[in-house]
Chain A
């Protein structure tokens, strides 16, 4: 497996990195090493605007995912018998491995103008809400993508919270909210942080939600990558943007590690 991954994965990553320095002249890629792509991208205010916008959309997605998943996952971890918990866990895993393209398609006809929600609203006589191409629709796409994974990460960490600690805190007279804030949340920190980090990464790299549910008007880095590869066949430019995404991802993961393990405690493998 090491050989396979080294040849095809590391190999592909290296070619991507090298290509980010190549140039396109007369519609042909030349294998020269220059910084043209990099100065073009990093010097462009348009690029940075899209970059910040992507971070913002992905940040919203990560925040919503963790906040919205927490009560549900808390319920699975503490309010439900262990037999049912197993079943729910198994059910939660399933949608993660179903086609994301098809699920996005489903949302697109649910949210479209004259789509399910719109026509249901009209039927009841309410004014229609323009959902198609809205930011909300795009974030729903991101949530659809990442919810199962984020919920699973948070759930695993909540299931590891020491229940005797919660009882102790209740016995000492802490109210429910206080117990959650001071006992459950700190113990579940690792899951919450990594849940948010992966929610962020999935949204940052996703192309399908912004191009369909987002109506292609809200530009993200992934749309820029596709745009570069399709329109002019400018693969080097696309490669440079992809490398920027990889660097961002690494920074996010390092930050997450820092936040999840604040003291220099060794991560349990």
Chain B
């Protein structure tokens, strides 16, 4: 009885993961299908959709816009998220809950509401819709994730070494630079990749505030609303490849090193 139940549960688990990964796997598979439409029957293996997509100037522009935005977003979100995390973890102050509530709230809100708010805000503030506005908005969305990661990491770090540095006469900044930063580098890298991945994939805000400078998800969205075609599969496959590798590397940086540390203790 026990064994039967275990088998049933584990098969269910496999099905569950199959459902979650189905769109990803099927999309990538059919990006290699030698037919205008991603449909059955299978018409043979080809790389021509990738060639077509990679030589399409609209796709290239959108992709390079997305890369610039994602890297800039990550470069802003990571340090401000890390500073906020260090601040919250090492100083007790009144209103910590309220501070976190304001700072970490954006990912809880529907993207569409955020998108609309940003679009009316930028318009009223006199910012023209451009990659700059997309970057600013994406930092608001991504920084809370950087904060979360850095907070988890800092809570694992030993406070004693910091206090030892203080006792040995190191000032606040010197302590951060020589004691805290070296320990935090893998987590910082993970936060950087995660923020970049969030910006890379975000479509709704980007759609509202990008104006004429289309990012890749917005391009996919407009292509996909118009038609289904295997070329869109190829763009999607490339986009998945980018975000999945960023997330996996981030996870290995964050969890992998964390595990080794535990073994040392």
Which residues of A does B touch, CB under 8 Å? Answer: 1-2, 4-6, 8-13, 15-16, 19, 68-69, 71-72, 74-76, 79, 86, 88, 90-95, 97-110, 112, 114-116, 119-120, 123, 143-144, 147-148, 151, 176, 201-202, 204-208, 211-212, 222, 225-226, 229, 235, 238-239, 242, 245-246, 249, 253, 269
Contact = CB atoms under 8 A, between A and B. Distances in A.
Contact of B120 (A1, A16, A108): A16
B102 A5 contact: yes
Contacts of A229: 116, 119
Given A205-B112, A225-B112, 14 more contacts: A8-B121, A11-B121, A12-B140, A74-B9, A98-B24, A101-B217, A102-B239, A104-B23, A105-B224, A107-B23, A119-B41, A211-B225, A242-B113, A245-B110
Interface of B: 5-6, 9-10, 12-13, 15-17, 19-24, 26-27, 30, 37-41, 76, 80-81, 83-84, 97, 99, 102-103, 105-106, 108-114, 116-121, 124-125, 136-137, 139-140, 143, 147, 194, 197-198, 200-201, 203-204, 217, 220-221, 224-225, 228, 232-233, 235-236, 239-240, 243-244, 246-248, 251, 255, 259
A148 B20 contact: yes
Contacts of A19: 120, 124
Contacts of A120: 40
A249 B225 contact: no
B21 A95 contact: yes
Contacts of A204: 110
A98 B112 contact: no
B201 A99 contact: yes
14 contacts: A5-B140, A8-B121, A8-B140, A9-B106, A9-B140, A94-B247, A97-B198, A101-B224, A102-B23, A108-B224, A206-B111, A206-B112, A208-B204, A246-B113
Nearest to B200: A99
Nearest to A244: B113
Contact of A72 (B16, B119, B217): B16
B27 A4 contact: no
Contact of B236 (A75, A99, A119, A201): A99
Contact of A102 (B9, B118, B236): B236
B112 A226 contact: yes
A71 B110 contact: no
B110 A206 contact: yes
Contact of A106 (B17, B27, B243): B27
A212 B204 CA distance: 14
Contact of A201 (B110, B228, B235, B243): B110
Nearest to A117: B40
Contacts of B248: 90, 94
A97 B228 contact: no
B241 to A, nearest CB: 10
A112 B228 contact: yes
B103 A2 contact: yes
A240 to B, nearest CB: 11
Contacts of B139: 4, 8
A201 B22 CA distance: 23
A201 B9 CA distance: 29
Contact of B110 (A16, A76, A249): A249
Given A98-B243, A205-B110, A8 B120 contact: no
B39 to A, nearest CB: 6
Contact of A97 (B6, B106, B204, B247): B247
Contacts of A1: 80-81, 83-84, 103, 143, 147
Contact of A99 (B103, B194, B243): B243
